[in-house]
Structure 1
Amino acid sequence: MPAIVWKDPSSWMDMIDAALDGRLACAAEPRIKLADTKDWYLDDSEWVDLLAHCLDEDADDLVDELTERLIGQTLRAYHGCRPANLDSYRKHGIRMLDCTAIIVLTREWLETVPNNEGLLPLLSDMTERVGPATREGHVYFGLDDRFLVEHCGHYLIYGSEFLTAGFGRQRQVLTTRGRPTVIEVDVPIGLMKLNLRRELASLLLRDWARIAAWGEVRTFPENFGFSLRQDVPPSWIVGFTHPLRVPDPLERRRVWTFD
Structure 2
Amino acid sequence: MYDLDSSVELLLQPAAALSKGDDNIWRRHHFVWKQPETWVPQLTAWLLPHFRRDGFRRLKPGRFRDLCWDDFEWRDVLGRCLLADIDYHTDQLADVLDRATLRTYHGCRTDDAGSYFREGLLVHDRAHMTARLRSIVEQNQELNWFAPRLDAAIAEIDNTLDIGRLYVVAEDTFLLKHAAHYLIYGSEWIAAVLGSTGRKVLLKSGAPTLLEIDLPLRVATPGTLRELSAKLLAEWTRRACNQPDWHAPIDFSFCLRTDIPPDWIVDHSHPAELNDPLEQRRLYKAAVAGCAYCSPAPE
Q: Same fold (TM over 0.5)?
A: yes
CA distance in 1, matches of 2:83, 2:204: 58
Q: Which one is further off, 246-255 or 53-62?
A: 53-62
User: What is the Cα deviation at residue 49 of structure 1?
Assistant: 2.0
Q: 1:76 to 1:180 in 2, by over 3 A?
A: same
CA distance in 2, matches of 1:10, 1:115: 51
Matching of residue 152 in structure 1 with residue 179 in structure 2:
yes
Report the counterpart of residue 168 of structure 1 in structure 2: 195
Report the counterpart of residue 228 of structure 1 in structure 2: 256
Structure 1 or 2, whichever has the larger Rg, is: 2
User: What is the Cα deviation at residue 114 of structure 1?
Assistant: 3.0
Matching of residue 205 in structure 1 with residue 233 in structure 2:
yes
CA distance in 1, matches of 2:214, 2:233: 20
Report the counterpart of residue 245 of structure 1 in structure 2: 273
Q: CA RMSD in A?
A: 2.2
CA distance in 1, matches of 2:182, 2:200: 13
**1:61-86 CA deviation, whole Å, 9 max, x = no partner?**
11011111101111111111001211
CA distance in 2, matches of 1:184, 1:30: 40
**1:219-252 CA deviation, whole Å, 9 max, x = no partner?**
1211112310111100110110111111111111
Report the counterpart of residue 15 of structure 2 in structure 1: none
CA distance in 2, matches of 1:229, 1:122: 32
Q: 1:27 to 1:77 in 2, by over 3 A?
A: farther
User: What is the Cα deviation at residue 10 of structure 1?
Assistant: 0.7
Report the counterpart of residue 192 of structure 1 in structure 2: 220
Q: Which one is further off, 222-231 or 41-50?
A: 41-50
Counterpart of 1:48 in 2: which secondary structure? helix
User: What is the Cα deviation at residue 42 of structure 1?
Assistant: 1.2
Matching of residue 70 in structure 1 with residue 97 in structure 2:
yes
CA distance in 1, matches of 2:215, 2:43: 17
How many residue pairs were aligned? 258
Flag as ranges the 4+ runs of structure 1 deviating above 4 A: 21-24, 26-31, 34-37
User: What is the Cα deviation at residue 115 of structure 1?
Assistant: 3.0
Q: Which one is further off, 187-196 or 63-72?
A: 187-196
CA contact (8 A) 2:94 2:229 kept: yes
TM superposition score normalised by structure 1: 0.91
User: What is the Cα deviation at residue 206 of structure 1?
Assistant: 0.3
CA distance in 1, matches of 2:284, 2:252: 24
1:71 partner letter: D
1:92 partner letter: E
Counterpart of 2:199 in 1: which secondary structure? helix
CA contact (8 A) 1:72 1:190 kept: yes
**1:33-88 CA deviation, whole Å, 9 max, x = no partner?**
26965322211212122212222331111101111110111111111100121132
CA contact (8 A) 2:50 2:83 kept: no
Structure 2: any 5+ residue segments left out of the alignment? 1-27, 290-299
User: What is the Cα deviation at residue 118 of structure 1?
Assistant: 2.0
Q: Percent identity?
A: 35
The structure with higher relative contact order (CA 8 Å, sep 6+) is 1
Q: 1:87 to 1:27 in 2, by over 3 A?
A: farther
Report the counterpart of residue 282 of structure 2 in structure 1: 254
